[in-house]
Structure 1
Amino acid sequence: MSDIKEKIKKILIKNNFSEKTLKMWFDPLNIEKDEKKIYIIFQHKFLFDNYKIKFKDIIENEINLDFEYKIISLNTNNKILKNFKKKIKENNKNLNYDFTFKNFIYNKKNLFPIVSAKEICNHNSAKFNPFVIYGESSTGKTHLLKAIVNEILKNKHNSKILFINSDDLNNKYIVKFKRNHITFKQYIDNYDYLIVDDFQEVLNFDSLQKELVTIFDLFYEQKKQMIFSYTGKYLLLDRLDKKLKSRLEWGLIVNLKKPDLEIRTKFIRKFCDDKKIKLSNEQILILAQKFKNLRNIKGILLKILAYTQLINNNLREKEFFSILNTVQEKRADNLTFDNIIDIVADEMNLERDDILSSKREKKIVKARQVSMFLCRKLLKYSYPEIGKIFGGKDHSTVIYSVKKIQRLKEDSRFMKSLLKNLEQKCSSQEK
C-alpha cells in the first residue's frame, strides 16, 4: 500500500501542508487492503478526529477510491502523541501551521506592523503591551495573529496561548463561567498569552468589556503579552468602554493596510508557483488590477486551478476572462455614500446639505444626479436604496438621474472628465 500512501503525501504537499504538519498527521498513518476495501488506520481517535477536519475531503476528492477507517489504539504514552495532544489542548485547535511570517506577503507599506509582530515573538516578557492590529477586512490580520502564535510556539514550546475571537470569549464568560468574574479571570490567567481576534465585536458586549479591564490589569502587571486585532478604523476605539480604550492605548497600535497592486501581484505569482498554474505576466497584471480583495483573487485562482486540472491544462484567453467574470468584487468597505457626497460637494463647490436637500438650482440638481450615478456605479446600490439616501426619492427619479449622467458622459467631454476625476478620488478612499 506504499503507492497509495505516496499518492496521499503528494496531494498534501500540493495543497501546501508543511513538513511539520505532515510529520504530525501523515507519518503515523497505516494503510491496509483486503479483497474489497482499503483501510486507513489511525493510532488514536484523537488523530482520526483531526484528520476528518484537515485531510479527509482533500484526499477523497482527489483519489477515486473508497476508503474505510480504523482506529487501533497503541501505546498512549507515545511521546509524539502526548506532546501533540498537549499542544492542541493548550492552544487553539484551529491553528494552521501554514500561516507563518515567511508566507505573509508584504512590502514597505506594511513593514512596521510585521517588524513589530516579529519583535514580540523574540521576547520572553511582554513587549508593546498590548499590541493592537487594526485594518480593513481582508488585509491579513488573522494571518498575522496566527503567524505570531506559530512563531511563539516554535521558540517557546511550553507557552500557553489563548487564541480566541471576541464572540467565543463572550460565550465562555456567559455560558461556561455563568458571568462569574472570579472563575473567568482564573481561567484566562492560566495562559501566558491572550490573543483576541475580531476585537470589534466586544462593542456588542458591555459586560465583557468591563471584565477585560480587570483581565488587562492582571496581564499587564505580570508582564504577560496581550495582542488584539480588529476590523475598522482607529476611531473605533472611541466607542469602547473608556477604561478599556485607555488601556489599549498604553501599548502599540499599528495599521495593517490593504494589499496594493505590488502585493496582489506577488500573491498571484506565489500561488501560481505553488500550484503550478501557468499565467502570463499580462494575465497576472489584469487579475491584480481588477480585484483588490485577496479573498476574491484566491477564489478566482482556485477556479483556474480546477479548470486546468480537470478540463484543459492550457488556459486560453477566452476561458481566463470567462472565469474572471464569474466573480464580482464587493464594494469597498471604506467607500460609503457619505464619502461620495462629500467628494462631489467639494469638487463642485457646494455644501453636502445642498446635494441632500430638495433645492432645484441647476448646479445642485446636477451634483445630486452625479452623486446618484456614482452610488449606483461604485457601491452597486439598488435604485430604491439610493432614493432613500437622497430624501426618499422615488426609484424612477433615481433611474432617470443615472441614465441622464450616463448620456452626458458619452456626449460631453466635460462630464467624462469630471466623472473620471471623481472616481479617482473615490477610489483613493479604498487605500
Structure 2
Amino acid sequence: MAQKWQRIQKRLRAELGEDVFTSWFGRVELESLEDGCLQVSVPTKFLSKWLRSHYSEHLLKCCSAEFDNVERLEFRVRQPHDAVRMKQQPAGGTAERQPAPAAQPSAARPAVDTRTGCEGFEGSPLDTRFTFESFLVGNANRLAHAAALQVVESAGEETSRYNPLYLHGKVGLGKTHLLHAIAWGVKQRKPNAKLLYLTAERFMYSFAEALQSRGGPAYKDRLRNIDVLLIDDMEFLQGRTFQQEFCHTLNSLIDGGKQVVVAADCVPMQLEGFDARMRSRLAGGLVAELGAMDYDLRHQILKRRVQDKAAEDPGFQIPDAVIDFLASELTEGGRELEGAITRIHAAYKLTAQPVTLETAEHIIADLVRGKEPKRIKIDDILRVVTKHFGVNRSDLLSSRRNRSIVRPRQIGMYLAKSLTSRSLPEIGRRFGGRDHTTVLHAIRKVDELIETDTALREDVEILKRLLRD
C-alpha cells in the first residue's frame, strides 16, 4: 500500500503543481482500505473540510487508478498524539528552526500630531495607522471608501456633495478607520481647515463640562464654526439634552456648508432614543454601509497584516494554506483578523516553531469554537434558492431546461455539495431524480462561472450567508 500511495502522491504533485500539493496534500496520510472505502488522515478539521469540498473527486480518481474497487473516500482527523509521532519522523518533516533574531529597533520617527481641535476644543486622538493607504477595499466597503475620499477632496469648498455622510456597520468593519483616514486626509490637503474628531462620549463629556462652568452658549458658538466635524459611535449619544444640542449643531453646520461625518452601528432610522427629526436629518445625506467582509477581503487583510509583522520581524512568514484557513474561519471583522495574526506571531517568537495549519488551528481555537455552522439541509437550500431567484420548487425539480431554471438548479446542487455531506447520487435524487454525473457537471460548471462571472459569484456568496445565518 505504501508504494501505491507514493505513486498517488507523485501523480497529485504532477497534476496539481508543487505549491498546491505541498499546501493541501503534504500532510495527508493513507490509513486503510476496507469495503471500498479508502480512509486517509489529516492533522486538522479545516484541512479535512477543505479537501472534502475541493479535491475529493480528484483524489478519488487518483486512488481508483491504483486500488481496485475504491468507491468512496473518508477523511479522519488525526489526534494530537499522532501529530507528536509525526514530528519525530525525519522523513517529510519540517526541521525545527532556531529562534528568530529579535527585530532591530527602527530609527526614531518624527513626532506626529495626532490631535484634532480648534477654537479651544480638544478632539479625540487619531491613530497614525488608520489612513486611506492602509484601508483595504472590497465589495463590502467600496461605497463607503469612495464617499470618504470625496469628503476629503471637497473639504473647504462652499458646498459638499455628501452632507452629512453617515457610515454604519457592525463592530470591526472599518468605520473608525475611515473617520481617521478622513481626518488625516483633510489635515494634509487643507492644513488650515478647522477639523474636529470626537467620539459621542467625548462630545457628551465636553458639553456637560461647558454647562457646569456656565460656558454653554460660547461652547455652542465655537462648535458651529468647525469646518469638518467627525463623530464616532453615534449610537452612544444618549440623553435628551445632548441629542438636542447635537441636532442643533448638525443643522447649523450643514446649513452653513460645513462637512459632517457620522459613524454608528446601525442605520439612522434604528438609532434608539433619537427623535424623528434628527434621524431624518442624518438619513438626508449619503448613508453608506460597511458590510460583512467576504472571503477575498478577509484574505487581503490577513496578507497585509502578515506583511506588516514581517517588516518588523523579517523571519516571520505564514504559509498560504494557513492564510486560507484563517480567512475561511474568522468572519467577524478586521479586529479579529488582526488579533489572530498577533497571536500567531507571538507564538512564533516565543516557541521558535514554524507556523503550520495545525498550530494555527490550536492558537485560534477559542475564536472558532462556538462558530460551528448549523447543519444545513437540502430542503433549506431548495427553499433559499427558489426564493432568491424567484422560481418555483416544482420547476427546479422538473426536467425543464430553460436557462432561468437551469442556472438556479446548478447553483443549488453546487451549494448542496459545498455545504452538506451528502453524496453526489443523493444530491441528484433530491434534485428531481438526476444522475450523479449531472450533479458533477453542475458543480464544475458553477466552479468555472464563479471565476469569471461577478454577479453569479455574488449570488453564491449571498446564498451561503443566508443559509449559514
Fold similarity call, TM over 0.5: yes
Q: Secondary structure at the match of 1:309?
A: helix
For residues 4-403 of structure 1, the aligned pairs below 5 Å read: 10-11=104-105, 22-24=109-111, 92=123, 94-123=125-154, 124-125=156-157, 126-127=159-160, 128-178=162-212, 181-202=216-237, 204-233=238-267, 235-237=269-271, 240-276=274-310, 277-293=316-332, 294-312=334-352, 314-328=354-368
Aligned to 1:72: none
Q: Secondary structure at the match of 1:108?
A: coil
Contact kept? 1:91, 1:160, Cα under 8 Å: no
Aligned to 2:7: none
Aligned-partner Cα distance in 2 for 1:268–1:99: 16
Pick which of 135-144 and 87-96 moved more.
87-96
How far off its partner does 1:217 sit? 2.1
Aligned-partner Cα distance in 1 for 2:464–2:190: 46
- C-alpha distance after superposition, 1:138-172 (max 9, x if no partner): 11000000000000001111222221111221122
Aligned-partner Cα distance in 2 for 1:111–1:221: 28
Q: Secondary structure at the match of 1:102?
A: coil
Pick which of 320-329 and 175-184 moved more.
175-184
Aligned to 1:389: none
RMSD: 4.3
Aligned-partner Cα distance in 2 for 1:165–1:316: 40
Alpha-carbon spacing, 1:99–1:131, altered in 2? closer, same or farther (3 Å): same
Aligned-partner Cα distance in 2 for 1:119–1:85: 22
Contact kept? 1:113, 1:254, Cα under 8 Å: yes
Contact kept? 2:116, 2:125, Cα under 8 Å: no
Q: Secondary structure at the match of 1:24?
A: coil
How far off its partner does 1:92 sit? 3.3
- C-alpha distance after superposition, 1:354-375 (max 9, x if no partner): xxxxxxxxxxxxxxxxxxxxxx
Q: Secondary structure at the match of 2:141?
A: helix
Alpha-carbon spacing, 1:103–1:161, altered in 2? closer, same or farther (3 Å): same
Alpha-carbon spacing, 1:308–1:164, altered in 2? closer, same or farther (3 Å): same
How far off its partner does 1:226 sit? 0.6
Bigger proportion of residues as helix:
1
Alpha-carbon spacing, 1:176–1:244, altered in 2? closer, same or farther (3 Å): same
Contact kept? 1:159, 1:192, Cα under 8 Å: yes
Q: Secondary structure at the match of 1:218?
A: helix
Aligned-partner Cα distance in 2 for 1:85–1:268: 29
How far off its partner does 1:107 sit? 1.7
How far off its partner does 1:321 sit? 2.0
Contact kept? 1:129, 1:225, Cα under 8 Å: yes
Alpha-carbon spacing, 1:146–1:10, altered in 2? closer, same or farther (3 Å): farther
How far off its partner does 1:288 sit? 0.6
- C-alpha distance after superposition, 1:99-149 (max 9, x if no partner): 111110112342221111101101123521111101111110000000000
Aligned-partner Cα distance in 2 for 1:12–1:429: 48
Letter of the 1:102 partner, please give it: E
How far off its partner does 1:323 sit? 0.7
Letter of the 1:196 partner, please give it: I
Contact kept? 1:291, 1:329, Cα under 8 Å: no
Aligned-partner Cα distance in 2 for 1:164–1:327: 31
Contact kept? 1:90, 1:161, Cα under 8 Å: no
Contact kept? 1:101, 1:147, Cα under 8 Å: yes
Alpha-carbon spacing, 1:329–1:257, altered in 2? closer, same or farther (3 Å): farther
Letter of the 2:226 partner, please give it: Y
Q: Secondary structure at the match of 2:187?
A: helix
Q: How many matched pairs?
A: 289
Structure 2 unaligned runs (5+)? 1-100, 311-315, 374-379, 385-421, 431-461
- C-alpha distance after superposition, 1:215-243 (max 9, x if no partner): 12211222111110100245414852122
Q: Secondary structure at the match of 1:229?
A: strand
Aligned-partner Cα distance in 1 for 2:329–2:102: 36
Aligned-partner Cα distance in 2 for 1:87–1:232: 27
What TM-score results when the alignment is normalised by the length of structure 2?
0.53
Q: Secondary structure at the match of 1:285?
A: helix
